[in-house]
């Protein structure tokens, strides 16, 4: 029989509580974060997460967080998939940049970033 009083709710809450015990970057692994959690029954579980920071984004730094998992192999797999996808994206971006520069040079246009500023532009004031 379930009890619904204040004391019963507190007892259920104590059983469901978990306490954070330790965390940090895993030694010997690149971009793998670990977190140790101790449950009310005394069991300690280690969770892993892929975490990476790199240049880009509106603020200059992009932060990528994978999902927490109890499997180190799964976190490594997520890291490897991301790094592979990022390498493909970087190669594609570089090819597009080179292609754009080639087109501009053939048309006799300077770099797109070095265009003259419009007189109506706030930067011209």
pLDDT 10s digits, 57-112: 888 899 999 999 999 999 999 999 999 999 999 999 999 999 999 988 888 876 65
Determine the pLDDT at residue 53: 93
18-25 and 61-65 beta bridge pairing: unpaired
Does 113 score more than 60 pLDDT? Answer: no
Length of the chain measured in residues: 125
Q: What is the residue whose two structure tokens read 């965390």?
A: 23
CA angle, corner 17, sides to 15 and 20, nearest 5?
140
Q: pTM of the full predicted structure? A: 0.65
**CA atoms 58, 24, 84, 66: torsion sign:** negative
Q: How far is the C-alpha of 108 from the C-alpha of 93, rounded, in Å?
A: 22
pLDDT value for 68: 94
Give bridge partners of residue 39 from the DSSP assignment: 18
pLDDT (tens digit per residue) in 5-34: 666 566 555 555 666 678 999 999 999 999
pLDDT tops 80 at residue 3:
no
CA distance 39 to 34: 16
Choose between 35 and 113: higher pLDDT. Answer: 35
Mean pLDDT of 45-49: 94
The predicted pLDDT at position 1 comes to 47
Query: Edge-to-edge, what's the strand order for the sheet holding 44-55?
Result: 18-25, 32-39, 44-55, 61-65
Nearest of 48, 55, 21, 12 to residue 32 by alpha carbon: 48
């Amino acid at each position: 029989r379930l009890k619904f009083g204040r004391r019963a709710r507190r007892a259920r809450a104590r059983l469901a509580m978990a306490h954070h015990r330790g965390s940090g970057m895993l030694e010997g692994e690149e971009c793998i974060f670990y977190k140790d959690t101790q449950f009310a029954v005394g069991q300690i579980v280690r969770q892993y997460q892929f975490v990476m920071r790199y240049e880009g984004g509106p603020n200059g730094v992009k932060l990528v967080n994978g999902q927490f998992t109890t499997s180190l192999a799964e976190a490594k797999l997520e890291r490897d998939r991301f790094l592979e996808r990022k390498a493909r994206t970087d190669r594609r971006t570089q090819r597009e940049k080179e292609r754009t520069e080639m087109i501009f040079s053939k048309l006799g246009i300077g770099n797109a970033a070095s265009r003259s500023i419009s007189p109506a532009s706030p930067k011209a004031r």
